[in-house]
Structure 1
C-alpha cells in the first residue's frame, strides 16, 4: 500500500514547470486505455500526442516517459519485439503503460474536469422515466406469479434514473445563482439568455407539477405491496453474497432489504410531504421559481453597473472644455459651484455658536467668520474642551417631513387608483393628468416600451416593483393622442392601455 508521500508523487506532473508537456503525454495513455491498448512505445506517444506547437524531439519524449515512470504514473518493460541484432538487444528500449496509481490519477482528473464542466440540469425526461418505471412495477406487482428478475431490473432502472434526477436537482439548487454569470456578456446575449432560461424553467415547472401527481399516485398504489417486492429482490441479491453460514446469508439479505427500503423512502419523500416539511419536488419547484427573479435582479444589477460606469479623467477633460467655453468669470464661478458642490453647507455645524441662528441656505460669504480649531487642521478632527453643545430638537422638522411624505404617498396612491382601473383605456381618453399621475404614467409607459420589439407589437408585462400589470396595444399608425400636464402637452401615437393591480389578477 502506498504511503501519503508516495501517492502525492503521482500528482507531481500537474504542478511542475513542464506540466502541459506531461499532461499531453498522459492523455495519450488515457486514450490508449479507453481503446483497450495495453502498451505504447515512445515513437507512438510522439505520433499520437496533440502537441500545442511543433512536435518535440524523441529524446524529450523519452525523458518525460522516464520521469513519469519515476513518479509512479507509468510502468516500463523492456521492448524486445523489435530487436534485430545484438546491439539492439543491449540498447535500452521500453514499452510503457499506465500503472495502477496512474490509472487512479487519470480517473480522478477526468472526474474533476467533468464535475467542473457539469451544468446543473432540470431533467423532465427523468420524470417521464420514473413514471414509466413505476407503472411497469405496478404491472409486475399485479401479476399472479411474481417475476423477481424483471422486478429487480425495473427497480434498478428506477433507482438509477432517480439518483440522476436528484443529483442534478441538488446541483441546480446549490448553484443556480452562480450559473447566472452575465457580468461580461453583451446586452443582446443577456436578453437572449434571459429568455431561454425563463422558458426552460417554466417548461420544467409545468412538467414537474403535471407529472408529480402521476408519480405520487403510482407510489401510493405500490405502498401496500412494496415490502414484499423488496423482500424478494433482497433474497435474489443475497444469492451473490460471499460464502458463509446461514446467519451470514440472512444478515446480507437484511442489509440488502434495508438498503432498498432506504431508497424507496427517499423516492417517497421526494413527492410526499413529511409532517410540515415540504417535499423535495416542492422545494425544487420553489427554487426554480425563485431563479427567475434572481435572473432579473442580476440583469438589473448589470444594467445599473453599465449605466453607472464613469471615467473620471474623461469627465475632467470635458469639464475643462466647459471652463474654456465660459464667456466670463461669473459663468466660470457658477460652473465651479455646480461641478464641485460649492454650495452653502451650514449643517456641518463646525461652529455651533455662530451658526445657531443661521439657516442652512446662508452663503459662507454672508455669514460671520468661522473659527477653526487648530486641532482640526493638525489631526483632522476637533474635540473642544468643556461640555458638549446642546442637542438641537428636530422633532418639528421630522414631523414636517413625515407630513410631506404622507401627503406625497396619498397623491401617488390617488394617481395609481386613477390609472390602475383594470379596464382598457385609450391614451387620448386620459385627458388631463396632474404632476404625480403624469409621473406614474411616464414610468409605466417607459417600462412597457422597453419590452416592445416593434412599434406595432403589443406588450404585456409586470412592473419592476411587482404591484401593477401593464397591457399596451398600439392603435393605427395615423391615430393621435394628447395628454395635458402641468409641464405641457404630451402627444404621440394613440395606444390602448390596461393597468391592473397585481392583487386583482389573483
Structure 2
C-alpha cells in the first residue's frame, strides 16, 4: 500500500496530460457508482469511454470535465504511469494484486490494483459541484412546495399522537423534508441569479429575449401564486407542529441517527455515554435544520420577514425589471426621440456651427426667442377675430389686423397717460364655469348613486337589465382598478377606496373559470364572477352630519 503523506488531489488539473488523468478518474467514479471498489489497469481500459457510449451528463462524461474532451485509448504502459502519478498525488491508492498469482514469477512481477481515496473522491465531488453550479439555471419548484406541505402534514400526525413518535417514520419524514427543502432553496437561489443575468443581458440577443419574456413572466407569476398559497399552508403546519411538540419529534430522529454513530477513540467512555453524546450532536443538527425551515416560511414580526416572502418580493421585482427591460428595448427599437436626445443633437449642431452668426441663426430657429412686441393683442382685436370666426389655417396677413398706437414706437409704452383702460368683465365666464362644475358634480353624484349597492351583489347583476351608462361605467372602472391593484397575489378578497375617497369597493372572487359580462354604453366588460359591494362614502358622511 502506498502512503501519501501530503495529498494533492487537484494537482492533475495543472498537469500536461490533464485529459488522461481526468478520464482515468471518471472511470473510477463510474465504477464506484456500480459498487466496484478495486480496478486493475486492464479494467480501466475495458471501461474507457468510447464515442458510441458518450453521454451528455456532466457527471458521466469526461468531455464535460475542466480538461475538455477525453483522449484516445492509451496503451498499458502509459495508463500504468498515469495511475502511479495519481497515486502519488493522493487521488488513488494502490495495493499489491495477489488475487490472480499462480506462480512465483507472477508474485515477483509488479501487479497492482487501484481504488479511489477519500481525497480523490472529495476532489471529484468538488469539481462536479463546481461544474454544476456554473451551468445550473435553477427552477422554481412548485412541486417541491406541495411535497413539503405533504411531509409536514404527515409529521403533524406523529406530533399530535399521544404515543411516543416512531423513530423510523419520523426520521424518514424529516430526511425527505430536508432533501426537498434544500433542493427548493438552492434552485430558487440559482433561478433568481439566472433571472438577474437574463434581465442584465449584454449579448444583444433582443429577439430571443422578447420571445422568451412572455413565457418567463407567466412562469414566475404562477410560482408567486403557488408560493403565496402553499407558503401560508406550510407556515400553518410548522406552527401547529411546534405547538404539539417539535422537541420530541427531533429527539426521536436524533436517537435514530445516533444508532449508526461511529464510536469515539476514548476507551474510558462507555457505550451509553457515547450514545448520549451522539444523540446530543444529532439533536443539535436537526434543531438547526428545523430552524432553517421555519425561518424560510414563517416571518418573525415585521423586522425579519421569511425567506419565502423575500423570494416572492424578488420574483415580483424580477417581473417589474423584465417589463422595464422590454419597454426599453421597444423604445430603442422604435427609435423614439425624447427631449434629452433632441438637446444632445442640438448641442452637436452648435458645436459644428462655422461661426457665431450661424450659431445665432441656429438659436433663433431652435428657440424663436426674438422680440415680438407686435404680437400683443387687445380686447378689440380679440372681439374682431371671434366675430370673423377665422379657421385655424388663416394666414396672419388675411386676418383682421391689430391697431397699434404710434405712441408704442415713439415712447415704448402702449398705455396712454391718464385713466387706465376698462377692465374686461369676466362674470359671465365665471358663471358659465360654475354651472359646468355643478353639472359635472351632479353627474358624478348620480353615477355614485347608480353604482352604490345595498349589500353584496354579483358582478353579473350589478348593471341590471339596462346596463350602465357611460359616466357610471367609467367610475366603476376606476374603483375596480383600485381594488384589483390592492389585491395581494393569491388572495380572493380585497377592499379598496377610490382615489378621491368618495367610494369604497369590496370584491370577493366567486369562480375564476366563470366569465360574466357587463353591458355598458361603451361596450361589454368581461371578467371572472365576483361578489361586489360598493359603498358611497359621501352619502354616509351626509347622513352622519344630519344626525
State the TM-score bracket (shorter-chain normalisation).
0.5 to 0.7
Q: Give 1:366's aligned residue.
A: none
Q: Give 1:30's aligned residue.
A: 29
Q: Specify whether residues 112 and 345 from structure 1 end up closer, same or farther in structure 2 by C-alpha distance, changes over 3 A only.
A: farther
Identify unmatched segments of 5+ residues in structure 2: 51-69, 264-268, 336-347, 363-368, 370-522, 526-547
Residues 425-471 of structure 1: per-residue CA shift (max 9 Å, x gap): xxxxxxxxxxxxxxxxxxxxxxxxxxxxxxxxxxxxxxxxxxxxxxx
Residues 477-506 of structure 1: per-residue CA shift (max 9 Å, x gap): xxxxxxxxxxxxxxxxxxx9x9xxxxxxxx
What's the CA shift for 1:254? 5.4
Paired with 2:279 and 2:166, the residues of 1 have a C-alpha distance of 15
What's the CA shift for 1:157? 2.8
- 2:10–2:123 CA contact under 8 A, matched in 1: yes
Cα RMSD over matched residues? 4.2
Paired with 1:199 and 1:185, the residues of 2 have a C-alpha distance of 23
Q: Give 1:45's aligned residue.
A: 44
SS of the equivalent of 2:316 reads: helix
Moved more, 283-292 or 74-83: 74-83
Paired with 2:110 and 2:3, the residues of 1 have a C-alpha distance of 30
Q: Give 1:6's aligned residue.
A: 6
What's the CA shift for 1:214? 1.9
- 2:258–2:282 CA contact under 8 A, matched in 1: no
Equivalent residue runs for 1:303-452 within 5 Å: 342-344=352-354, 346=356, 360-361=359-360
SS of the equivalent of 1:39 reads: coil
Q: Give 1:208's aligned residue.
A: 227
SS of the equivalent of 1:6 reads: coil
- 1:73–1:101 CA contact under 8 A, matched in 2: yes
SS of the equivalent of 2:124 reads: helix
- 1:12–1:71 CA contact under 8 A, matched in 2: yes
User: Structure 1 residue aligned with 2:113, among 89, 95, 108?
Assistant: 95
| Structure 2 residue 240 is matched with structure 1 residue 221 | yes
| Structure 2 residue 316 is matched with structure 1 residue 289 | yes
SS of the equivalent of 2:156 reads: helix
> Whose Rg is larger?
2
What's the CA shift for 1:124? 0.9
User: Structure 2 residue aligned with 1:70, among 88, 111, 124?
Assistant: 88
Q: Give 1:139's aligned residue.
A: 157
Q: Give 1:413's aligned residue.
A: none
- TM-score, with structure 1 as normaliser: 0.54
What's the CA shift for 1:21? 1.9
Q: Specify whether residues 217 and 304 from structure 1 end up closer, same or farther in structure 2 by C-alpha distance, changes over 3 A only.
A: same
Residues 123-144 of structure 1: per-residue CA shift (max 9 Å, x gap): 1112111211222223333434
Q: Specify whether residues 259 and 307 from structure 1 end up closer, same or farther in structure 2 by C-alpha distance, changes over 3 A only.
A: same
- 1:148–1:232 CA contact under 8 A, matched in 2: no
Paired with 1:88 and 1:246, the residues of 2 have a C-alpha distance of 51
Paired with 2:191 and 2:42, the residues of 1 have a C-alpha distance of 46
Q: Which has the higher contact order (CA 8 A, sep 6+)?
A: 2
Paired with 1:231 and 1:54, the residues of 2 have a C-alpha distance of 53
Q: Give 2:252's aligned residue.
A: 233
Q: Specify whether residues 3 and 120 from structure 1 end up closer, same or farther in structure 2 by C-alpha distance, changes over 3 A only.
A: farther
Residues 369-389 of structure 1: per-residue CA shift (max 9 Å, x gap): xxxxxxxxxxxxxxxxxxxxx
> Aligned residue pairs: how many?
325
What's the CA shift for 1:202? 1.0
Paired with 1:96 and 1:79, the residues of 2 have a C-alpha distance of 9
